[in-house]
Structure 1
């Protein structure tokens, strides 16, 4: 099916990461022009952008000035900007209960996962206000739907992206872009590099898929195809304010005992 994304300008935050790079490639396959955002992964971002004929743009997404400069830079490089994929996020590895968690960690995690999306969306919407058109896809997590013990900070940030922030933004965008849309994708366990060691352990796979009827870990490409589908006005033009979970049917209860 033709997605009608050829020639469109797309900005993917965290575009050099596991899911991000798959999203960048999926848009490029549709003929879109893609700006690969990075903060520290400059070599990966520039190599990916060069390979696909896109552009690399740098920003610390917790810096207001950096983010406000990022969107104009993407527009300059691509010639236009139609879609924002707010994909960048940080999962803090230490498992800490709320009674153990410092206020510094809590604030840092919310800044990296919630403030960053607010700033990215705000900068993009200021561009949309001028063009009258645009779509946003926010990458959240199943942690925001079911919670994640030991990572309440991360779950709280992702939960906001899958509820109140999303529902408000899908109403606001139509004030400046009558056909503008905002949707959220919530991946579950996905085979990215940071999980490589864990995903080589069959016992770990069995444990994390106990709540899933499809007993397999997702791939970045699984998420990327959903993002492209939601970005396409031709395919998803009447879909907005929705949360699409890409997690093998994950539920908040055990479906498989072994």
Structure 2
């Protein structure tokens, strides 16, 4: 199926990471021109750009001026942006029960996931205002819908993105672009490899307990849905939606029994 993305410029934040690079490669197979944002993975980003015929651009997404400049540089490199995938985010680290969660970690997690998403969206929406069209796709998390013990900070940040930002911006974008769209994908945890550490394997086992399809999401699973959402040709009437790429997850990840982990 032709998604109509050939020759279209799309910026992917966090584009050199596991999920970001899969999204970039998926877009490249559709003929899109990917702009790969990175913060510190210089070699990986530039190698990916070489492989996909795209551009690699560095920026800190917690610095307002750098986010605005990123959009400007992306346009200078590849022309008007058909879409932006707000994929960049930060995993907080080991689980911490809310009663022990520090304010420092809370603020850091919200900055890395919610503030970064806001600044990216704001900068892109200014561009949309100028060109009159655009599609914005946020990458959320199943934690936003089901919660995740030990990660109240992450679940709250992603919930704010997929519920508050998506639904609000889907209403606002049409003031600048009558056919502009804002959506999100919420995947389950994507394991970094088939040879995960024991702790990660245990976490994966617990997560899969409520997944009918019986396997975790892959980066390709998520990337395909992102590409579909960016396409005006096939998803042009889809906006304000959050697509869960969760294999049918219907329950919650239960807390570990006392003494486990």
CA RMSD of aligned residues (A): 1.8
8 A contact 2:146–2:252 mirrored in 1 = no
Residue correspondence of structure 1 range 1-258 to structure 2 within 5 A: 1-193=1-193, 196-198=196-198, 201=201, 204-253=203-252
- How far did residue 97 of structure 1 move? 1.6
Alpha-carbon distance in structure 2 between the residues aligned to 1:149 and 1:200: 15
Alpha-carbon distance in structure 2 between the residues aligned to 1:167 and 1:195: 38
Residues 1:50 and 1:128: Cα distance change in structure 2 (over 3 Å): same
- How far did residue 103 of structure 1 move? 1.0
- How far did residue 94 of structure 1 move? 2.0
8 A contact 1:49–1:55 mirrored in 2 = yes
8 A contact 1:86–1:136 mirrored in 2 = yes
- How far did residue 95 of structure 1 move? 1.3
8 A contact 2:184–2:243 mirrored in 1 = yes
Q: Which residue does the alignment assign to 2:258?
A: none
8 A contact 2:147–2:252 mirrored in 1 = no
Alpha-carbon distance in structure 1 between the residues aligned to 2:14 and 2:55: 13
Q: Give the 3-state SS of the residue equivalent to 1:92 in structure 2.
A: coil
Q: 1:135-172, CA deviations, whole angstroms, 9 ceiling, x for partnerless residues?
A: 00000000111111111111000001111111100000
8 A contact 2:49–2:56 mirrored in 1 = yes
Residues 1:83 and 1:141: Cα distance change in structure 2 (over 3 Å): same
Alpha-carbon distance in structure 1 between the residues aligned to 2:198 and 2:38: 26
Alpha-carbon distance in structure 1 between the residues aligned to 2:250 and 2:233: 31
For structure 2, the residue ranges without an aligned partner over 5 or more in a row are 254-261
TM-score, with normalisation over the residues of structure 2?
Answer: 0.93
